[in-house]
Structure formats: C-alpha cells, structure tokens
Chains A and B, each alone.
Chain A
Amino acid sequence: MICLWWLDDQEPDEMAMEHARGQLEKVYATDVVRAARGGLPATAFDPRRNQTSSAELVRWLAGQKPPEAERVVGVLGADLFIPVLTFVFGEAQLGGTAAVVSTARLHLPGTRLVEARLAKECVHELGHTFGLRHCQDGRCAMSRSASVIEVDTKAAELCRDCRERVAEARERKP
C-alpha cells in the first residue's frame, strides 16, 4: 500500500488528486490510499525565498510513514525549492520511502493540464524511491523534467526498463 497525502491547509484539487491516485495504482500495481495530513515542520518554510524546502519535507514524511505503508507521497500547493535551484517540481529519497510533489507550477489557467502533470510527477518522484534515476527515454515518466514543457512531453507511465527495475527493487525489499 502507498499513502498519497495532501499536505496543504488549502483545499486540494480533488480531481487532480484522484487522477494521481488512480495512475499510481495502475503504474505501481498496489493500493493507493489518500488522506489529508497537517503538522508540517515550521522550519520547512523559508520566508526569504517564500518557498518550502523539499528536502525537509521529504525527511519529515519518511518519519511519518505508517509501518504498514510501502511508500508515502506528499502533495502540496506551496512552491518547493532546493538550495541551489530556483524551484523543483518535487523531490524524493533515492531508494528510500518518501517523496513530495508541488502543484504550484503545474497549473495552466483555463486548462485541466494540472491533472495529467500531477499524476506524471507523482509517478516520477515515487520512481526515485525505487532507486530509479532519470531515464533517457523521453516518453518515460522517469525522464528528467526541468520545465512544464518536458512534463507535458512525457507519459504518465514507466518504460519497460524502469518497470523491470521497480520489480527488481521490490524483490530485494519486499
């Protein structure tokens, strides 16, 4: 089972969250359970940058993961950053249990693109927790996306190689 948590005080985009849940279940072939969680660490927000530290959130999420859950993915509306970059769409522990994704830069006014984009980014960040690095196949959800154009270009699915690596990772750590 994988936990998909909404972390923000604002109301979630129900349709986008539900679409992401369905896609994660399909790609990772396991139950994905949605919940809303508060109590984020206050230090995660950087007032100078007016952004939230993705690294801090990932660390915190890993500590919050219920023992029965295989992985946990947090989603929030706030913009995320790592110190050297202006922003990140999300972050994950490579070969760990927690990942976080922000919807802040996935919206395109007047469209519902956020649904597909959020699902892709959730599949992508969760892939890192299975030890996957960025994939050279531009269609694979694990291909790198440094811009929304790249997010839109790729599919919400994993390529065959990445699927096989996830299966191998699960065999090693059931």
Chain B
Amino acid sequence: MNRERTKILVVDDEEIVRESLSGWLANDGWALGVAEDGAKAVEKLKAEPYSILLVDMKMPGMDGLQVLAQAKKLQPELAVVIMTAFATVETAVQAMKEGAYDYLVKPFDPEELSMMIEKIAGQQELVRENTLLRKAIKREFHFHDFVSKSPAMQGVFELAKAAARSSSTILILGESGTGKEVMARSIHAESPRAEGPFVAVSCAALTETLLESELFGHEKGSFTGATARRKGKFELAHQGTLFLDEVGDISPKLQLDLLRVLEDRKFFRIGGSEALEVDVRIVAATNRDLKKAVAEGHFREDLYYRLNVIPLQLPPLRERKEDIPLLVEHFLEQLGAEQGRKLEGVSGEAMALLLSHNWPGNIRELRNVLERGLVVCAGKVIQVPELGLHPGAAPTPAVEASGALSLEEVEKRHIAFVLGQLGGNVSQAARQLGIDRATLYNKIKKYGLRRPEGEEP
C-alpha cells in the first residue's frame, strides 16, 4: 500500500492533541495535514483532496458534526472519523447518521487507531484499484462505441482497426441492430480520414431516382424540381468516408452506376457533362445475404467483389450473450448521462432475463429495453417488470386454429405476429415473410398496423 497516497487531515482545537496524533500518524508514513478549527479544516478541504478526516467533536465555532457535513459536501469519498472525549450512544449514532465512517473515544488505543486507519486506507486502495481495473477493462473491450469481450467481436475489432488504416472498401455484414452504422463511424474515426466528413446514405429509404440524385447530385434543370445545382453525397464525402447503408437494396441501374464510381473514382452529376473526381473511402453495409443475392441474380457479381474487399461480419447479440452484462453497464452509463439519471444496474433476476432473451432486434433492442427500464425504474436497480420483456413467454401462434377467417385477416394477423416477434424490424420481417420491404410497407399501411418503436427506417 502506498501510504503517501493516503492523506489524513487532523482537526482539533488542542495543540497537544494535534501534535501527538499527527506525530504518531506521520511515523506510520501517512501524509498529513492539520487544522486548529472547523473553518480552517473546510478551507483545507476546498484546497486539496484528503482520504481521511480525523475531527474532534467538541470545538469552539464549528463542531465536529458541522465539519462532517461540510466535508461530505466537498469530498463525498472522504472517510470521516469523529473523535470524542465523552462517548455517548447519542453522539455516536448521530455521527454515523451524518455519514461518519466511525468514531473514536479519546484517548484511543494505539492498536485500534492503527487498525482503523489501515482498514480505511485499504478499502480506499481497493476502490481505486477497482476503478482503474474497470477503466482498463473498458479500454480493452472497447472499439470506439463498441463494447465486447467476445472472441468473435474482438476479432472484428482487430480487423476493423487494421482495415481503418487502409483506404480499401469495407463491407459490413450483420443483422439489423447489430451496429453496422456505429461500426462504420468507428472505422471512420479510427482512420486517417477522421478529420474529414462522414456521410451516411440509407439506400433502402429512397426511390431509384432520388437515390441517384442523392448520391451523385444534379445540375440545375436536369429534372423537374431540380431548381438549383446540388452536390451529391459522393462530393460531400470528399476526403472522408461515405457510408452506404443497406447497399443490398439498390436497383440494378444504380448498382451499375456505383460500380463505375468504384472502378474509376469518377462520376457525373445528373444532367452534368463534367466528370467529377473524388477521394472517398466507401464503407457499405447490408443485412442481406449478398452472396445469395448474386447467385439469384439480384445483385451484380462485379459490384459484390468491388464492395467485398474487406468484409466485416457483425455477430448477432444472441451469439455473444457473454457481452450482455458489459453492454448493460455501458448503456446504463450512456443513457444515464443522457437523461441525467444514475442507476446502480439491473437486479440479478433482470440480468438472468436479459441473458435468456433471444434479441431478434440485437443491440438496438437491448438499448431500447434498457432505456425503458431507466425511465420507469422506481429505485436504483432495474427490476424484471421494469424491463417490459415478458419472462418465459412462449411465442404464441399468430393465427388461432379455430374460426373462419378471411385470407386477408389471416395475412394481417400473421404480419402483425411476425413484426411483433422481430421487435418491429421491417427488413427482417420482410425476409421472413418472403416479400420485399416495399410490399410489406404497403401491407402495413393497408392493414393499419402500427410500426413498433425501434424499427429501422
């Protein structure tokens, strides 16, 4: 134990007590400060941090309890020991209620004093070590906003770090909610382009024409509504990173356009005749099986190979459940800071439930569940009901076997069921239902199904 790190402040109005006590403690190697009254002690506490405060109960001006109250405000971690000449149960109880660590009756047994100081210093050392270790663990298990200790993710971090340094195109694969955009941003932040722009485009959100204009820009008058020249995302991302989300959803024409840019690093604005050259690192992402899409003829093979230079596969949360406790701590800290509320964690039962859940919506779903828990939590620890997950609820069939339902009603109920099972994730639901997203959106609209929270745009 580094004794010089433990600084003790001795506060007593009697000089002889201050001298003999500080002399005894100094011989033990502790760092010391002395103050002759409460006001001077408070000044010292304002000026520098102390580990232990030994304060006399009866002093003219501020008494020991008043010093204790001030000290706890200034340095909440400080261990305060009240020294008193007359031990009464009342004073002792009062001191402890006010937050004192302990009290000593003067004169005290030397062994009692030594052991108490050793004990406090030992505990504080443990707290310090714990804090340092937590920080070290965080450093080790973090890759920017990612937290993971699973071997699979550690491998992804390593690859992502190496890939970030290069200028190669990166293809991020993973289910919805696994953090593909967060990974793209992390790669950008880790890359030599970190100072440049990070521009994200969701390829599935726009129609072919809009997406084309969004990516490449347009000249004034190139189409109806093009009232002014507009720069596209490629230009905006110059010397930075362009993130093409849901790249598996783009049309054959745009696949070809994109392929050309990737090959030549040149493109034309819509309606433009000037070839524009940009320095852009492409990070693409998709939750689709691109290989399968290539095999089925939905995705250009040449574009696939252009994009798939460095593939990064983000595992779904159900395959790295060992990360859940770490993620819970991370998100509670992050959400707590956002919402100005600090919680101690989740109860043992709640953690067991989080570990047993299948997480179809992956990390995004976990974050949403914890956000809900944080908001509704009545105490300091989130309990099972506050998570809003239903423990042990077996999936109920979408459609009751009995009853004469119309085909439309069966479809409506089945879509609602699948969406509910997948946390409202339209992409996954569309895949599971074997229809495309646009069709699913149309059906959601037709049947008036509400899009649950946490769904992808």
A51 to B, closest residue via Cβ: B107
Q: Is the CB of B27 within 8 A of A85?
A: no
Interface window among A17-25, A64-72, A86-94, A156-164: A86-94
Residue B26 at the A interface, CB < 8 A? Answer: yes
Interface window among B14-22, B35-43, B177-185, B367-375: B14-22
0/1 string, B319-360, CB within 8 A of A gives 1: 000000000000000000000000000000000000000000
Q: Is the CB of B28 within 8 A of A82?
A: no
Residue A109 at the B interface, CB < 8 A? Answer: no
Residue A55 at the B interface, CB < 8 A? Answer: yes
0/1 string, A141-156, CB within 8 A of B gives 1: 0001011000000000
Residue A84 at the B interface, CB < 8 A? Answer: yes
A83-B20, A84-B21 as given contacts; A134 in contact with B28, CB under 8 Å: yes
Q: What residues of chain B lie closer than 8 Å to A94, measured between beta carbons?
A: 23, 26-27
Q: What residues of chain B lie closer than 8 Å to A55, measured between beta carbons?
A: 16, 19-20
Complex Cα distance, B108 from A80, in Å, reads: 14
Give residues of chain A (99-137) contacting chain B, Cβ–Cβ below 8 Å. 128, 133-134, 136
Complex Cα distance, B108 from A55, in Å, reads: 17
A94-B23, A94-B27 as given contacts; A144 in contact with B106, CB under 8 Å: no
Interface window among B45-53, B109-117, B218-226, B404-412: B109-117
A133-B26, A133-B27, A134-B29 as given contacts; A84 in contact with B107, CB under 8 Å: yes
Q: Is the CB of B28 within 8 A of A85?
A: no
Residue A6 at the B interface, CB < 8 A? Answer: no
Q: Could you tell me the distance in whole angstroms from the C-beta of A5 to the nearest C-beta in chain B?
A: 22
Q: Could you tell me the distance in whole angstroms from the C-beta of A79 to the nearest C-beta in chain B?
A: 12
Q: Is the CB of A86 within 8 A of B28?
A: no
Q: Is the CB of B107 within 8 A of A144?
A: no
Q: Could you tell me the distance in whole angstroms from the C-beta of B119 to the nearest C-beta in chain A?
A: 13
Q: Is the CB of B111 within 8 A of A83?
A: no
Q: What residues of chain A lie closer than 8 Å to B108, measured between beta carbons?
A: 84-86
Residue A81 at the B interface, CB < 8 A? Answer: yes
Q: Could you tell me the distance in whole angstroms from the C-beta of A143 to the nearest C-beta in chain B?
A: 10
Q: How many B residues are at the interface, by size bracket?
A: 20 to 34
Complex Cα distance, B107 from A32, in Å, reads: 35
Say which residue of A83, A87, A133 sits within 8 Å of B28 (CB atoms).
A133
A94-B23, A146-B114 as given contacts; A85 in contact with B29, CB under 8 Å: no
Q: Is the CB of B20 within 8 A of A84?
A: yes
A93 to B, closest residue via Cβ: B23
Q: How many A residues are at the interface, by size bracket?
A: 10 to 19
Q: What residues of chain A lie closer than 8 Å to B109, measured between beta carbons?
A: 85-86, 146
A84-B83, A133-B29 as given contacts; A146 in contact with B110, CB under 8 Å: yes
Q: What residues of chain B lie closer than 8 Å to A128, measured between beta carbons?
A: 27
Q: Could you tell me the distance in whole angstroms from the C-beta of B117 to the nearest C-beta in chain A?
A: 11
Q: Is the CB of A144 within 8 A of B20?
A: no
Q: Could you tell me the distance in whole angstroms from the C-beta of A104 to the nearest C-beta in chain B?
A: 14
Q: What residues of chain B lie closer than 8 Å to A83, measured between beta carbons?
A: 14, 16-17, 20, 106-107
Q: What residues of chain A lie closer than 8 Å to B16, measured between beta carbons?
A: 55, 83
Q: What residues of chain A lie closer than 8 Å to B26, measured between beta carbons?
A: 94, 133
Complex Cα distance, B24 from A146, in Å, reads: 11
Complex Cα distance, B111 from A75, in Å, reads: 22
A88-B110, A136-B29 known; 12 other A-B pairs, CB under 8 Å? Answer: A82-B20, A83-B14, A83-B107, A84-B107, A84-B108, A84-B113, A85-B107, A85-B113, A86-B109, A134-B29, A144-B27, A146-B111
Using a CB–CB cutoff of 8 Å, the interface residues on chain A facing chain B are 55, 81-88, 94, 128, 133-134, 136, 144, 146-147
Q: What would be 22 A-B contacts, judged by CB atoms less than 8 Å apart?
A: A55-B16, A55-B20, A81-B107, A83-B17, A83-B20, A84-B17, A84-B24, A84-B83, A85-B20, A85-B108, A85-B109, A86-B107, A86-B110, A94-B23, A94-B26, A94-B27, A133-B26, A134-B27, A134-B29, A136-B29, A146-B114, A147-B110
Q: Across chains A and B, which 8 residue pairs bring their CB atoms closest together, nearest first?
A: A146-B111, A82-B20, A146-B110, A146-B114, A84-B21, A147-B111, A86-B107, A85-B110
